[in-house]
Amino acid sequence: MKNDVLDVLLYIFERFENDDYFIIEEAQKLADELTEVGFTEGEIGSAFDWIDALATLRENQEEHLFEQIHSDGFRVFSSQERRILGQQGLSLLVRLEQSGLIDFAARELIIDRILALKMDTVSYDQVQWIAMMVLSNLEGYEQACAWFELQADELH
């Protein structure tokens, strides 16, 4: 997956930003709409797979899959994570966690979804968008989502 899949995800996110959830039955209509605006079937399928994986991760998170991880531990980022996220992206995640806007489980979900895009690198803005997409699909992170929206408003 590359930048084009991220573009599809951003399109979907912006389209359904105010909806509480995405109705799977509408997937074919959405796929048709995405095709009409110029995305390929491969990009659309990869974006839908990414969303499905996020839903699965959300369910696992809700079932306390992350209980076995000690939240007071020290996270060492792999060389691949450092390369892809860059210093600014890593700093953003650390800052969000240290400020209490996200916890270790949300951080790991964000990193998982970034790595799932299989991009060589992601920009700071892309990390923000992906984090906002992930957090908006989790319960209890409304304050973090509001923080991201405030950041976006300040830029415009």
| Other residues' Cβ atoms within 10 Å of the Cβ of residue 12 | 20
Closest CA to 128 of 120, 118, 136: 136
Contacts 24+ apart (CB under 8 A), 146-152: 147/96, 147/101, 152/128
Contact assessment for residue 132 and residue 148, using Cβ atoms and an 8 Å cutoff: yes
Closest CA relative to residue 83, chosen from 134, 133, 119, 128: 119
pLDDT surpassing 50 at residue 1: no
- Under the banding of pLDDT at 50, 70 and 90, the label for residue 152 is low
User: Is the pLDDT at 36 greater than 70, yes or no?
Assistant: yes
Split at pLDDT 50, 70, 90, the class of 19 is low
- Give me the pLDDT at residue 75, please: 82
Is the model's pLDDT at 65 over the cut of 50? no
Q: Is the pLDDT of residue 148 over 70?
A: yes
pTM: 0.81
